[in-house]
């Protein structure tokens, strides 16, 4: 069992008191001397407690008076609206995202980027490079022929066994041979869609959704039906029900139940159960993209959507790309009733994945070191998200809205006055700062005034300066919009509305 250091345990104790309301903004925290006495710790530990609370935005030092509870700036911004879910969505469209994404990729390639807030990935330093290198070395020492012998097709490998074993924690029961290794989650999604639908078919997706999925649909010649999605609870099951009634030709639904990209929403279990039953009832295949659930800050791991599936109608897709090893393209698919078809498609498409990375990753995942790594990663990401949200609340123009998701790598930011995010993107790129404009996350124009900001970089002065500059750019662009007087940047809203996603 991982025990956090003493200073963090004490900081968490005071944080719990703030969250419970027993300590409110403006209340004085115990002095260093009191902390030492109360908790039997040294001066340096007491100081670390105060500095931790200060660094995470929960306390401020006042000269000669000590530390006081502060309401973090991020909690003073207004949360985003829920989408209107009571009308049928716009008809399904053939996706035309590729041009927008190619333009974005080309501009990224041909411009010097010094600060990249556009990706959805952690910095290399957040992943256990040394342990992975050792696991690769050990796998090769044990079976040196791994690089020269074609991968034998074996039903039980360390990787398949580790995935099957971990699946039990999230309510799934599957045999190792039901886990098909893939080239990342993106190949798993490609296979799932090809197994259940044909070119021209309609696939329901969340709106907004990550542009990789829209690209996959476009490349397969399928139509996307964008379903309103809550920043808090994910895909609206009511809106999907309306869509099923209105357009009777939906073949599949793709959903990211945990830490949806870009919203960060988390679907409650009751919604997952309703969604699984709804799709089953209508004979619609349900594809679960489980890329991010290991990054969720929760007491217990969230139940997989697949765990609500009694008939094999849910296809579960996941990957290690964001959580363990961005350098390995290692994902997997558990294809339910489409297992044989997916196995055939995978064989036809790319043959089996190479063995070395699977053996090393599988052995690492079977040790306690994997969970220790995940706990550390979640903790670092939480701090980075909170600091990024604070910086946005401080430096972006008044009226900017964010939701603070309970985990993950990114923040979804709504710019005020429907400020086009492409204008911010262009101006920022001229200053070597890259962001992901909202226009990439939908086939339509609904999210053109949003930005997705990556929080995967360890906090630094350069990151803070970049976010300050982005806020400045947004303020300048906003002031230039017709009919708008210049608004001061960095204004914090006085009202205390909670921005936290449950």
Ligand X SMILES: Cc1ncc(COP(=O)(O)O)c(C=O)c1O
Distance of CA 114 to the CA centre of its chain: 23
| 3 state DSSP class of 227 | strand
316 binds ligand X (CB under 6 A): no
For residues 314 and 255, is the Cβ–Cβ distance under 8 A? no
Q: Which is nearer to ligand X, 321 or 387 (CB)?
A: 321
120 binds ligand X (CB under 6 A): yes
From the CB of 428, what's the least distance to ligand X, in Å? 21
What span, in angstroms and rounded, lies between the C-alpha atoms of 383 and 108? 27
397 binds ligand X (CB under 6 A): no
For ligand X, the binding residue among 176, 212, 257, 406 (CB under 6 A) is: 212
Which residue, among 133, 115, 131, has the nearest Cα to 434 in the 3D structure? 115
From the CB of 319, what's the least distance to ligand X, in Å? 3
Q: Which is nearer to ligand X, 186 or 434 (CB)?
A: 186
321 binds ligand X (CB under 6 A): yes
Kindly give the residue spans of alpha helices, DSSP state H, lying in 56-155.
Answer: 98-110, 129-142
Q: Which is nearer to ligand X, 256 or 423 (CB)?
A: 256
What span, in angstroms and rounded, lies between the C-alpha atoms of 152 and 257? 34
Residue 390 sits at φ, ψ, to 5 deg, of: -60, -45
For ligand X, the binding residue among 161, 289, 355, 390 (CB under 6 A) is: 289
Q: What is the residue-wise DSSP string for 365-400?
A: HTSHHHHHHHHHHHHHHHHHHHHHHHHHHHHSPTT-
From the CB of 393, what's the least distance to ligand X, in Å? 25
Stretch that binds ligand X, among 33-41, 183-191, 222-230, 454-462 (CB under 6 A): 183-191
For residues 460 and 451, is the Cβ–Cβ distance under 8 A? no
DSSP state of 138: H
412 binds ligand X (CB under 6 A): no
126 binds ligand X (CB under 6 A): no
| CB-based closest residue to ligand X | 184
Q: Which is nearer to ligand X, 210 or 396 (CB)?
A: 210
Stretch that binds ligand X, among 20-28, 182-190, 214-222, 351-359 (CB under 6 A): 182-190
| Site size for ligand X (CB under 6 A) | 13
Q: Which is nearer to ligand X, 67 or 441 (CB)?
A: 441
186 binds ligand X (CB under 6 A): yes
What span, in angstroms and rounded, lies between the C-alpha atoms of 306 and 257? 10
Burial of 121 (0-12, 13-18, 19+ CB in 10 A): middle
For residues 437 and 383, is the Cβ–Cβ distance under 8 A? no
From the CB of 256, what's the least distance to ligand X, in Å? 5
DSSP state of 291: S
Residues 234-263 that bind ligand X (CB under 6 A): 256, 261
Q: Which residues bind ligand X (CB under 6 A)?
A: 120, 184-186, 210, 212, 256, 261, 289, 291, 319, 321, 331
């Amino acid at each position: 069992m991982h025990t956090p250091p003493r200073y963090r345990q004490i900081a968490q104790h005071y944080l719990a008191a703030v969250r419970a309301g027993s300590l409110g903004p403006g209340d004085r925290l115990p002095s260093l001397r009191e902390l030492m006495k109360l908790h039997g710790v040294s001066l340096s530990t007491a100081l670390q407690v105060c500095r931790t609370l200060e660094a995470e935005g929960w306390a401020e030092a006042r000269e000669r008076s000590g530390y006081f509870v502060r309401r973090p700036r991020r909690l003073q911004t207004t949360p985003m609206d829920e989408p209107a879910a009571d009308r049928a969505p716009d008809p399904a469209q053939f996706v035309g995202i590729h041009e927008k994404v190619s333009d974005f990729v080309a501009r990224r390639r041909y411009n010097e980027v010094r600060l990249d807030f556009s990706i959805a990935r952690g910095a290399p330093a957040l992943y256990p490079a040394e342990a992975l290198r050792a696991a690769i070395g050990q796998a090769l020492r044990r079976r040196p022929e791994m690089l020269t012998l074609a991968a034998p097709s074996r039903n039980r490998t360390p990787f398949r066994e580790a995935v099957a074993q971990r699946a039990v924690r999230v309510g799934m029961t599957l045999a190792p041979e039901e886990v098909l290794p893939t080239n990342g989650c993106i190949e798993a999604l490609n296979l799932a869609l090809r197994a259940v639908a044909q070119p021209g078919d309609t696939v329901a997706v969340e709106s907004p959704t990550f542009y990789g999925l829209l690209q996959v649909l476009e490349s397969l010649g399928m139509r996307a039906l964008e379903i309103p999605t809550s920043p808090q609870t994910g895909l609206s099951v009511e809106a999907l029900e309306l869509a099923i009634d209105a357009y009777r030709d939906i073949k599949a639904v793709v959903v990211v139940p945990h830490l949806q990209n870009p919203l960060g929403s988390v679907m409650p279990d009751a919604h997952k159960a309703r969604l699984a039953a709804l799709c089953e009832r209508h004979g619609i295949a349900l594809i679960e993209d489980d890329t991010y659930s290991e990054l969720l800050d929760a007491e217990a791991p969230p139940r997989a959507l697949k765990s609500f599936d009694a008939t094999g109608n849910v296809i579960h897709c996941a990957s290690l790309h964001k959580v363990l090893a961005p350098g390995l393209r290692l994902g997997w698919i558990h294809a339910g009733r489409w297992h044989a078809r997916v196995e055939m498609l995978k064989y036809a498409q790319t043959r089996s994945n190479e063995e070395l990375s699977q053996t090393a990753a599988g052995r690492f995942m079977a040790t306690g070191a994997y969970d220790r790594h995940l706990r550390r990663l979640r903790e670092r990401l939480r701090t980075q998200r909170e600091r990024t949200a604070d910086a946005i609340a401080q430096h972006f123009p008044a009226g900017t809205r964010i939701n603070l998701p309970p985990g993950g790598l990114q923040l979804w930011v709504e710019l005020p006055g429907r400020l086009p995010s492409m204008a911010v993107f262009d101006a920022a790129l001229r200053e070597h700062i890259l962001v992901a404009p909202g226009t990439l996350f939908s086939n339509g124009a609904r999210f053109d005034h949003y930005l997705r900001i990556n929080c995967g970089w360890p906090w630094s002065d350069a990151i803070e300066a970049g976010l300050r500059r982005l806020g400045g750019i947004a303020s300048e662009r906003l002031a230039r919009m017709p009919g708008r007087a210049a608004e001061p940047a960095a204004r914090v809203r006085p009202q205390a509305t909670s921005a936290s996603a449950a």
